[in-house]
Amino acid sequence: MTADSGPGMRPDRPPLSGRISRERIGRALTTIVLPFVAMLLAVIIGSFFIYAADLIANKGAIDLGKPLTAYGALVKGSLLSFDAIVATLKQAAPLVFGGLAVALGFKAGLFNIGVQGQLLMGVLGSVAVGVALADQPVFVAAPLAFLAGTLAGAAFGFVPGFLKAVSGAHEVVTTIMLNYIALNILAAFVSGPLRVPKAPAPVTFDVGHAALPIFLGKTGHVGILIAVVAVVVVWWLLYRTTLGFEIRTAGANPDAARYAGMRPRRLIMLTMTFSGALAGMAGAGELLGVTHQTQTSFATSVGFDSIAVALLARSNPLGIIPAAILFGAMRAGAGQMQIEARTPRELVDVLQAVILLVLVVLPVIARALGGRGARAIPVEAETITKSYASESVTT
Amino acid sequence: MDTFLYSLPVIGLLFQVVGYLIAILPTSAPIILRAATPLGFGALCGVVCERSGVVNIGIEGTMLTAAFTGWVVAIAAVAVLGPMAPGPLGITPTLIIGLVAAILSAVGVSLLHAWLSISLRIDQIISGTIINIAAFGITGYLNNVISAASPTSAGQFEKFRPPAALMDLPFVGWLFTTILNQGPITISLLVCAIVLQILLFRSRWGLRTRAVGEHPKAAETVGIDVIRLRYRNVLIGGVFAGLGGAFLSMELSNAFQAGQTAGRGFIALAAMIVGRWTPIGGLGAALLFSLFLTIGQTIGFDPPTGQLGEIVAALPAQVFSALPYLVTIVVLAGLIGRSTPPAADGRPYEREATA
């Protein structure tokens, strides 16, 4: 059973006794301590990868201090100066949106792998409206362009929700297909109606006044603040509204949700639409806050990193912020690491993978090996997606 | 009557589409089968796993690991043993060593998936996702490191050359060319799909697999070791994923690139569902996807004539690159009601405590 510690829902709460408080402490400890254990292990395992790279590059000569140089540069590029911190926050903002998008789906028992595609639709929507409103006042152009990106993402999230609700087509497969379709839709628009005439390669105009205002340093755009607001809104939606209660119930126990008269089809469509809207915000924030224009392809790894962020945060909206900052910092510092230590920036992907693996596996092993106390360790997301069957849809 | 008249142009267009397909099929068929090879092997991996009740969305990462390992071990073998003259089908001892390593690495990754999802009973989709993320990160990193040393290529498997008389036969010659004028891994896909189809529905192992996938408790009651059978099937699936991955870096090309699978593992998953969890069906769906993929690529430089040509010219090129994905969604949404997964698919099995 998914242990849900949200304040809005306290399922099968056992009578008060000494054991509960111990469980609570255990749960809090694992939520806080476990990520640090995972990070520590990632750093250790990452060191072996750094040594391996060094060994091949220098034909057998090993620099024992190499991991220190590499990790030092990683930290320097992400935390040790004001500009570095702004860079980290900028990298974290789209991960917050994307992480929320995936986490919201997880809560409803849906796996949205389509964040990448919905994000690209957000890019398309915001660049189309942004270019059209480029000469309007900022307070008109920027919000409308951001909204357009959000809606485009929502529309693209609705599609797999609708397909699942109507035909039972599994969202894991449809969203992956839609990612490729989104890639082509964006390319078609950028090389067609949105293309700057006579430009040597297809590219759109700059969004001009529709760009998100800068509020922090030289490049810290308002999208960072919107991301924080989004966290609060999603938390509120999940734990303070009836819809949120229904979403969580449908995710935790579809049968119970159906017996209670909730309508799974409607919930699936709504959740996927909201999830798509959040992914669209990630795209709108990146376009209006960072690139201001786009080519036929919009390079980003946010779509897939978002899944890692949601898993790291155990789908808890409030946990998304630290998780996104951690991964954002690694992305921000990767360039510095590559320059100073000549360690390939892909090391960040390795660290990310190790953190995830440890985070998912360690609690299960601890629970299996440990005694009574260890059994209190929550194993989040035990049953996210039951099967490809449409059974949870049929009413 | 009116409806009939209005539908005439549509029917005419339909004839043109069919005519175009027939025109390009003989030349495109070998390309279609080649493009379908990694998808087909991925689908076979999915079928073996899911028929026993284990969802495997880590196929993408498993194939990527195999593609990388095969390439890297083969070039390492070249570095140690020195370059060798290729024999028939481009086979060299170093390539064989690479292929074996590719398959073993895929089986290793599958073992991780099996351990996570069968023994630890972690959500199988999470387990697969972690495998995908880890495989992408680790192969990308190591590829960057190794490519910087610009190693000597180990070559690649070459196409088999059937007798020219066979390929030049009127009407059916292209069929022989399609099936036989291929590399060893592609040809083995056809063999694997047929053999697996027979085994799954005609052998004791097949019956047990399906029983465990549908009703593990009943299977356990008649003495089948559910956990063991699931482990075995996931590992067998790893062999297929390994072949699919090796195809990319050792037969289709002679080198590994970061993210070489490019989503093929996920498309294979869709092919498995469209093919209703059968080996032959999965292969058919992979071929269907590749057909549209190839059309999307051919239509640019070999456009149809007439009305159809005008319509094609008026549409953005991206419509055709998106075509295979659109077709997959449409087929999936249209079929799914009639395409039922194994009843216990994705459910961890827990033995009941015995006294």
Q: A243 lies in a domain? A: yes
3-state SS assignment for residue A221: strand
Domain count of chain A?
Answer: 1
pLDDT band, residue B2 (cuts 50/70/90):
low
Residue A369 lies in a domain: no
B55 and chain A in contact, CB less than 8 A: yes
ipTM: 0.87
- Alpha carbon of A198: minimum distance to chain B alpha carbons (Å): 18
Helix residue ranges, H only, A215-346: 223-240, 242-252, 254-259, 264-286, 302-312, 317-341
Q: Encoding tokens for residue B189?
A: 């896909």
In a domain, A68, yes or no: no
Give me the domain span that covers residue A175: 94-328
Q: What is the pLDDT of residue A9?
A: 44
Q: Which of A106-115, A161-170, B5-14, B278-287 has the lowest mean pLDDT?
A: B5-14
How many residues would you count in chain A? 395
Q: Is the pLDDT of residue A10 over 60?
A: no
Residue A70 belongs to a domain:
no
Q: Nearest chain B Cα to A167, which residue?
A: B333
How many angstroms separate the CA of residue A382 from the nearest CA in chain B? 5
pTM of the predicted model, to two decimals?
A: 0.89
Residue B96 contacts A, CB cutoff 8 Å: no
Q: In the prediction, which pLDDT does A276 show?
A: 98
Question: What is the CATH code for B26-307+314-338?
Answer: 1.10.3470
What's the mean pLDDT in B155-175?
Answer: 84
Quick: pLDDT tens for A319-335.
999 999 999 999 999 99
Residue A79's pLDDT band (cuts 50, 70, 90): very high
Share of chain B above pLDDT 90, in %: 55
Name the token pair of A274. 């909201």
Kindly list the domain boundaries of chain B, sorted by start residue: 26-307+314-338
- Tell me what the pLDDT averaged over chain A comes to: 86
Q: How confident is the model at residue A394 (pLDDT cuts 50, 70, 90)?
A: very low
Residue A102's pLDDT band, with cuts at 50, 70 and 90, is: very high
Question: Residue A374: what pLDDT?
Answer: 52
Please count the residue pairs, one from chain A and one from chain B, whose beta carbons lie less than 8 angstroms apart: 168
Give the Å distances, CA to CA, from A198 to A177, A191, A202, B253: 33, 11, 9, 37
List Cβ neighbours of A266 (8 Å cut-off, separation of 6 or more). Answer: A165
B167 confidence band (pLDDT: 50, 70, 90): confident
**Cβ–Cβ gap A388/B273 under 8 Å:** yes
Nearest CB neighbour to B336, from listed A167, A183, A187: A167
- The yes-or-no verdict on residue A393 having pLDDT over 60 is no
For residues A250 and A44, the model is more confident at A44
Angle between helix A302-312 and helix A264-286 axes, rounded to 10 deg: 120
Residue B192 clears pLDDT 70, i.e. is over it = yes
Model pLDDT, residue A23: 66
List the single residue in B with minimal CA-CA distance to A364: B120
pLDDT value for A4: 44
Is residue A5 predicted with pLDDT exceeding 70? no
Task: Look at B141 and A304 and tell me if their CB atoms are within 8 Å.
Answer: no
